[in-house]
């Protein structure tokens, strides 16, 4: 470890949701339900899958390194220029690009104490320092949600990036339009604001901001989105950033050639057109969220109201043993102790059947 640069030594590796195959090898289980990675329980758009099958035969060819078609389709849908879009191998790749371009030793990035795990990884890998800000304790704002005042107080002359996921993973908390806008307006000019909208498509509240509306007003704003969640293409790894042209140009200079694969590019382009699939996804998610909420209320378990396709619930005691016991029942959820929530577990909104299987397993585990 002494060979690694200091930022790497202090990192904890990203812990992905446990793969189904791993559980199959460990326990003899009839059915395994994975609600651990905020994947789409309806799968992917059939139209996207059809395109993937069609172009598999061209696997010997490099993908379009500039993602011309996908960028054109995105630009049209979002009302921006293709030159404002940077594609990534998932939005994680884009987050990493931002860190590589704007962070370095001596610089720092500010994010919430319950922020998405990739922010500290990208920050420290770039040799910069992460400055986590405490979240709301419930006295002034929604408990566990971003405390924007605390974040502003952490910004100093060496801060170059602020990361905000809206809604946030794993808390599901949402910042409203006015509060997020005032925060962006209060940031000094030397700070890049990343508004990570990985769960944007699930928005169902009138106060859900669309940070793209503010790109012209804030030249240092980067909005990131993904095809992994509502579009159901997590395995194909496509995400993107939208920003002003100048920032997009900088990101594209550092981007690896061919960072998005050919199947992902084609599938994402087709998925964008399948508005019916997206609507069905969002509707099913709303219904699933309500079902989860009702289930937790019935069991007198606290949960954090979520604007995403997942929900974190509070066991009131260390969650790790419950997580393990659920695994033995064939239900994979996500421990969030590494996100500063040791008593919570995060469950992805599954189908009605999956949610019922989850609660039945939880009841067996909790002995109620
Ligand atoms: N941002 C947030 C807030 C997320 O929850 C996730 C997925 N876990 C991502 C970014 C990254 O998703 P992907 O790389 O699949 O686009």
Which CATH number is 131's domain given?
A: 3.40.640.10
Last residue of a domain, one of 273, 290, 305: 273
* Among protein residues, the one whose CA lies closest to atom 12 of ligand 1: 91
Q: Between the CA of residue 323 and those of 8, 204, 266, 326, what are the distances in Å?
A: 28, 30, 37, 5
* Judgement on whether residues 105 and 232 belong to the same structural domain of the protein: yes
Q: Ligand 1: distance of its center to the CA of 50 in Å? A: 25
In DSSP terms, 309 is beta-bridged to none
Q: Is 140 a member of any domain? A: yes
* Judgement on whether residues 120 and 268 belong to the same structural domain of the protein: yes
Work out whether the CA dihedral 215, 257, 120, 201 comes out positive or negative. Answer: positive
Q: Ligand 1: distance of its center to the CA of 367 in Å? A: 34
pLDDT at 368: 64
Q: Is 66 a member of any domain? A: yes
Q: Ligand 1: distance of its center to the CA of 359 in Å? A: 26
* Judgement on whether residues 19 and 122 belong to the same structural domain of the protein: no
The one-character DSSP state at 225 is E
Read off the tokens for 320: 């790790």
* Judgement on whether residues 158 and 281 belong to the same structural domain of the protein: no
Q: Ligand 1: distance of its center to the CA of 356 in Å? A: 26
Q: Is 19 a member of any domain? A: yes
Pairing of strands 85-88, 239-243: antiparallel
Q: Is 76 a member of any domain? A: yes
Q: Ligand 1: distance of its center to the CA of 296 in Å? A: 25
168 CA closest ligand 1 atom index: 3
Using CA atoms, how far apart are residues 41 and 329, in angstroms rounded to an integer? 19
Read off the tokens for 152: 């502003």
The pick from 34, 35, 39, 116 for probing ligand 1's pocket by mutation, whose C-beta has the most ligand atoms within 8 angstroms, reads 116
Pairing of strands 310-314, 302-304: antiparallel
226 CA closest ligand 1 atom index: 16
* Among protein residues, the one whose CA lies closest to atom 2 of ligand 1: 198
Q: Is 125 a member of any domain? A: yes
* Judgement on whether residues 287 and 232 belong to the same structural domain of the protein: no
Contact 216/79 with Cβ under 8 angstroms? no
Token pair 């598999």: residue: 56
* Judgement on whether residues 101 and 195 belong to the same structural domain of the protein: yes
Task: Say how many domains are in the chain.
Answer: 2
Last residue of a domain, one of 273, 296, 311: 273
Q: Ligand 1: distance of its center to the CA of 84 in Å? A: 20
Q: List ligand 1's pocket residues with C-beta within 6 A.
A: 38, 90-92, 116, 165, 169, 196, 198, 226, 228, 234, 239
pLDDT at 14: 87
pLDDT at 15: 85
In DSSP terms, 65 is beta-bridged to none
- In the chain, the N- to C-terminal Cα span, in Å, equals 46
37 CA closest ligand 1 atom index: 8
Q: Going residue by residue through the chain (368 aa), what tens digit of pLDDT does each one get? A: 678 888 888 888 888 888 898 888 888 888 999 999 999 999 999 999 999 999 999 999 999 999 999 999 999 999 999 999 999 999 999 999 999 999 999 999 999 999 999 999 999 999 999 999 999 988 888 899 999 999 999 999 999 999 999 999 999 999 999 999 999 999 999 999 999 999 999 998 999 999 999 999 999 999 999 999 999 999 999 999 999 999 999 999 999 999 999 999 999 999 999 999 999 999 999 999 999 999 999 999 999 999 999 999 999 999 999 999 999 999 999 999 999 999 999 999 999 999 999 999 999 999 96
Using CA atoms, how far apart are residues 110 and 125, in angstroms rounded to an integer? 15
- Three-class SS state of 108: strand
Q: Which structural domain range is residue 86 located in?
A: 51-273
Read off the tokens for 317: 């005691």
Q: Ligand 1: distance of its center to the CA of 301 in Å? A: 27
Instruction: Mention every residue, 6+ apart, whose C-beta is less than 8 A from residue 99.
Output: 109, 122, 123, 125, 126, 128, 161
* Judgement on whether residues 198 and 159 belong to the same structural domain of the protein: yes
* Judgement on whether residues 15 and 79 belong to the same structural domain of the protein: no
Q: Ligand 1: distance of its center to the CA of 116 in Å? A: 8
Domain holding 314: CATH number? 3.90.1150.10
Using CA atoms, how far apart are residues 195 and 214, in angstroms rounded to an integer? 11
ipTM score of the complex?
A: 0.99
The pick from 99, 164, 170, 228 for probing ligand 1's pocket by mutation, whose C-beta has the most ligand atoms within 8 angstroms, reads 228
Using CA atoms, how far apart are residues 179 and 272, in angstroms rounded to an integer? 30
Q: Ligand 1: distance of its center to the CA of 2 in Å? A: 31
* Judgement on whether residues 211 and 304 belong to the same structural domain of the protein: no
Last residue of a domain, one of 273, 290, 310: 273
* Among protein residues, the one whose CA lies closest to atom 5 of ligand 1: 169
Work out whether the CA dihedral 210, 213, 218, 223 comes out positive or negative. Answer: positive
Q: Is 1 a member of any domain? A: no
Render 183-206 in DSSP notation, one character per residue: HHHHS-TT-EEEEE-TTGGG--ST
Q: Is 307 a member of any domain? A: yes
pLDDT at 314: 97
Contact 87/259 with Cβ under 8 angstroms? yes
* Judgement on whether residues 191 and 239 belong to the same structural domain of the protein: yes
* Judgement on whether residues 303 and 261 belong to the same structural domain of the protein: no
234 CA closest ligand 1 atom index: 15
* Judgement on whether residues 101 and 241 belong to the same structural domain of the protein: yes
């Amino acid at each position: 470890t002494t060979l690694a640069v200091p930022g790497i030594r202090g990192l904890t590796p990203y812990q992905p949701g446990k793969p189904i195959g791993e559980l199959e090898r460990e326990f003899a289980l009839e059915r395994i339900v994975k609600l651990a990675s905020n994947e789409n329980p309806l799968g992917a758009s059939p139209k996207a899958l059809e395109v993937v099958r069609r172009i598999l035969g061209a696997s010997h060819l490099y993908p379009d390194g500039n993602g011309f078609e996908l960028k054109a389709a995105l630009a049209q849908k979002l009302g921006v220029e293709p030159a404002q879009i940077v594609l990534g191998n998932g939005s994680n790749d884009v987050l990493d690009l931002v860190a590589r371009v704007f962070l370095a030793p001596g610089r720092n990035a500010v994010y919430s104490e319950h922020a998405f795990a990739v922010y500290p990884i990208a920050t420290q890998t770039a040799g910069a320092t992460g400055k986590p800000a405490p979240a709301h304790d419930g006295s002034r704002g929604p408990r566990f949600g971003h405390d924007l005042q605390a974040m502003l107080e952490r910004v100093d002359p060496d801060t170059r990036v602020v990361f905000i996921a809206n809604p946030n993973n794993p808390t599901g908390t949402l910042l409203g339009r006015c509060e997020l806008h005032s925060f962006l307006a209060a940031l000094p000019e030397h700070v890049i604001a990343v508004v990570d909208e990985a769960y944007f498509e699930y928005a169902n509240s009138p106060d859900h901001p669309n940070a793209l509306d503010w790109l012209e007003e804030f030249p240092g704003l980067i909005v990131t989105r993904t095809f992994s969640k509502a579009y159901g293409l997590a395995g194909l790894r496509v995400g993107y950033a939208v920003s002003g042209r100048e920032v997009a140009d900088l990101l594209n200079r550092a981007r690896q050639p061919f960072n998005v694969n050919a199947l992902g590019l084609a599938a994402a382009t087709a998925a964008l057109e399948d508005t019916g699939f997206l609507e069905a996804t969002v509707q099913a998610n709303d219904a699933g969220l309500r079902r989860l909420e009702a289930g937790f209320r019935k069991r007198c378990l606290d949960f954090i109201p979520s604007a995403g396709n997942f929900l974190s619930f509070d066991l009131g005691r260390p969650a790790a043993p419950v997580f393990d016991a659920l695994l033995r029942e064939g239900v994979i959820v996500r421990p969030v102790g590494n996100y500063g929530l040791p008593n919570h577990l995060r469950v992805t909104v599954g189908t009605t059947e999956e949610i019922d299987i989850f609660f039945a397993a939880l009841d067996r585990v909790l002995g109620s």
